[in-house]
A and B are shown apart, each in its own frame.
Chain A
Amino acid sequence: MEKELILENINKKYDDGSLILKNINLKLSGNIRLSILGPSGSGKTTLLRLIAGLESPDSGNIIFDDQLMNNYPAHKRNFGMMFQDFALFPHLNVFNNIAFGLKMKKMKKAQINSRVNEMLLMTDLDGFAHRSINELSGGEQQRVALARTLAPNPGLLMLDEPLSSLDKVLRKHLLLEITKIISKLNIITIFVTHDHEEAFAAGDIVIIMKNGSIEQQGTPEQLIQTPKNQWVKDFLGA
């Protein structure tokens, strides 16, 4: 059965009372790839953190697979999230970083071994298992982060600006690799970025956010051909 993610009337305030997210409604299902695009401060990362369970909404519902997720803590959601700074564990080597989520699930050692090796192969990291995190290049760290996120078979995958800490040449190359890997997954993928080229490459559907609300939603072609207003047009043109 296809799993559905539904966001209903999500609102979130800053400590000072101003709104970060205003009345967000969204419905995703199957293996759709969504890109959330917007300038910094538009609320896109906050939206991601609400879905992940790292923060909770002030009002509204987050429903996944027919279950209300609002009061589920992050560690019980089985969602995968890849962080902007990768957030790799500096005290663990590549193998143990990837194995972390599996260990939390109390998987057997043999199973962990085979799953980690599978991930290493998929991300082109075979031979890196016992490297220390500090010895890796930016691109390698990014692949470890992706492998770590995918290892526990998440029910939903989120990527928060996964390319922003890399240089321009590497970014193009790795964008291709990432989109290739996530296209093969059979889950909902949410890709957050401020770069429209990345958003169009990684998403079947793109939502453009501005000041905490969804400005426009559509396929990349729709957005390019019929931007809703001048702001969207300028933003995509930039």
Chain B
Amino acid sequence: MDRYNTLTTFKKYFHPYALVGIVPAIFFLIFYFYPLSGIFIKSFLSEEFANNQHSNFGFLKQIFSSTRTLKIVWFTFWQAGVSTLLTLLCALPCAFVFSHYAFKGKKLIKTLSSIPFVLPAIVVATAFQACFGETDSPLILILLAHVFYNFSVMLRIITGFWSSLQGSIKEAAMALGANPLQVFLHVTLPLLKPAILAASTLVFIFCFSSFGIILILGGPYYSTIETEIYRQAAHIFNLPLASFLSLIQIVFTFFLMWIYTLFTKKAAKFVPDAEKANLKKPDRLLDKIVITATIIFIVSLCVLPLLALVVKSLTYNGEVSLIFYWALFENQTDSIFYIPPFHAIKFSLFFAGAALIIALVTGLCAALFIRFCDTNIDNKLTSFFDPIFMLPLSTSAVTLGFGIIITLDKPPLNLRTSIFLIPIAHALVGFPFVLRSILPALRSIPGNISDAASVLGASPWKIFKNIDFPLISKALVAGAIFAFTISLGEFGATIFTARPETPTIPIAIYRFLGQPGAINYGQAMAISTILMLVTAIGFVCIENFRPDNSEGF
């Protein structure tokens, strides 16, 4: 009897689906936690720190007495706050229209509005430079670019909640004598508040850790913690200060992420599980004007900058020309450091392919493992591992890249010259998206299906091959496209990990923008246009590969 029990326990915990959890665990330990611990160690145990005999906090004092660092921290919060507020102001009226009206082309407008969010920051920055050219007020460009970037996140989250409030709950308030204003103040607004706060926190996090946009549009005048980490590490080689800033970044993003989870939980509690909303048809003239205005607003916000990018990339000396595109394939300088841009495309594709494989394998293993914990062991285990696997999402790419280069450049693990350092970093950034694509599909498979199969004599491997795999194949494709397009556009971690001789597309764009001359500028536009198209196509494919009812990202 005892032996039997031990055997079943053994079989339970050493089920193949439990064992695959080791793959993402090792991946995270080596490529996420180890680099992050490197940042902690560099911040507190560095020589500079130790040399400060008087007190361990002398170094901190030095940092906080520097007005430059303080200014940077202040500006980081300020720009994130203002960007979030502006995004909210733009998204709230549009969310009202989207959650109340049914109109032709709604789905198209919604997809269109989501494209900016999936574009690489470097493309967005280039597009805004194309749209507004050299300007005296880069600050306005930064804020506008953030609104452009995050508008759809805000719109999607708030619209999702607002539509769910359209059903009987609003009617119950009306039947109880509440006029439209009272319904809004006493029912809609309190129920919508957690969703608005959650969306705002998320956008704040994105703006707080925005890198490419600030680096390119802000130029030398505006720095945030993110860009300062890069500057301190890559230009001034002040690694302790860079580490310390990374630490601030980590602490704040984790704190904000925690607040975001609280708001999301509260918001979820408020979603009535009632039937779907009955949307209004725009019958009255006023309805039609409101909807037309919304469409014009969204199209001009989300499409004009991208259109400007395409137009600039096709215009040379005032005429339509493909010269910038042809130039991508020529080696114009004889400098040995010059890498022709089409090589960057080649490297990018290789890295993206490798990142796709790494992220998909680790992501699938993690999803299988979490589903196994859900059903066979304990939900507590799921609520422990699930947030851990989402951590890369709340760690800025710059911090990640920085952590990787300061830890993986020496024994026990020296990958400094390895061609796989970039795909590993990219896979880490893409991992949460892959997991979030696969896990819902896996969870939607009823448990009794695999029970039925195993009673019919299928081994765990056969169950995976013949049941789970075919049922999640669409989600796997969506996850793969996520991993691939994220890798193609990744900038923050790549700028640390890329070797000079193997640049990626975003690095090539950054280099072009930094060099004078119309041809360089035009090439940046051309290659950005290509990257934009590839990412947009990838996004449209993902949208088609996932269930219709999924809101958020």
Contact partners of A203 in chain B: CB under 8 A: none
Identify A87's interface contact among B168, B178, B182, CB under 8 A: B168
Q: Is the CB of A87 within 8 A of B272?
A: yes
* Cβ distance A41 to chain B, nearest Cβ, rounded Å: 15
Identify A91's interface contact among B174, B180, B190, B275, CB under 8 A: B190
Given the known interface contacts A73-B174, A75-B177, A152-B177, the answer about A83 and B168 at a Cβ–Cβ threshold of 8 Å is: yes
- The answer to the question of B543 belonging to the interface, with a C-beta cut-off of 8 Å to chain A, is no
Mask of B175-197 contacts with A, CB within 8 angstroms, 1/0:
11111101100110011000000
Subset of 17 A-B contacts with CB under 8 Å: A52-B175, A54-B175, A74-B174, A79-B175, A81-B171, A81-B175, A85-B273, A85-B274, A87-B169, A88-B169, A89-B172, A89-B191, A91-B270, A100-B186, A104-B173, A104-B179, A152-B176
Does more than half of chain A's interface fall in helix, strand or loop, or is it mixed? loop
Within 8 A of B (CB), among A45-88: 52-54, 73-76, 78-81, 83-85, 87-88
- The answer to the question of B265 belonging to the interface, with a C-beta cut-off of 8 Å to chain A, is no
Contact partners of B180 in chain A: CB under 8 A: 75
Question: What is the interface size of chain B, counting residues whose CB is below 8 A from a CB of the partner?
Answer: 26
Contact partners of A75 in chain B: CB under 8 A: 174-180, 182-183
Does more than half of chain B's interface fall in helix, strand or loop, or is it mixed? helix
State the CA gap A73–B289 with chains docked (Å): 24
* Cβ distance B192 to chain A, nearest Cβ, rounded Å: 10
Q: Is the CB of B176 within 8 A of A54?
A: no
Q: Is the CB of A87 within 8 A of B274?
A: yes
Q: Which residue of B lies closest to A79 (CB)?
A: B175
Q: Which residue of B lies closest to A80 (CB)?
A: B175
* Cβ distance A8 to chain B, nearest Cβ, rounded Å: 23
Q: Is the CB of B174 within 8 A of A54?
A: yes
State the CA gap A86–B502 with chains docked (Å): 62
State the CA gap A89–B178 with chains docked (Å): 13
Mask of B476-511 contacts with A, CB within 8 angstroms, 1/0:
000000000000000000000000000000000000
State the CA gap A120–B281 with chains docked (Å): 40
- The answer to the question of A186 belonging to the interface, with a C-beta cut-off of 8 Å to chain B, is no
Q: Is the CB of B171 within 8 A of A84?
A: no
Given the known interface contacts A85-B272, A85-B274, the answer about A148 and B171 at a Cβ–Cβ threshold of 8 Å is: no
- The answer to the question of A43 belonging to the interface, with a C-beta cut-off of 8 Å to chain B, is no
- The answer to the question of A40 belonging to the interface, with a C-beta cut-off of 8 Å to chain B, is no
- The answer to the question of B269 belonging to the interface, with a C-beta cut-off of 8 Å to chain A, is yes
Identify B269's interface contact among A87, A90, A148, CB under 8 A: A90
State the CA gap A100–B173 with chains docked (Å): 8
Top 4 A-B residue pairs of the complex, sorted by shortest distance between their CB atoms: A101-B176, A87-B172, A87-B168, A104-B177
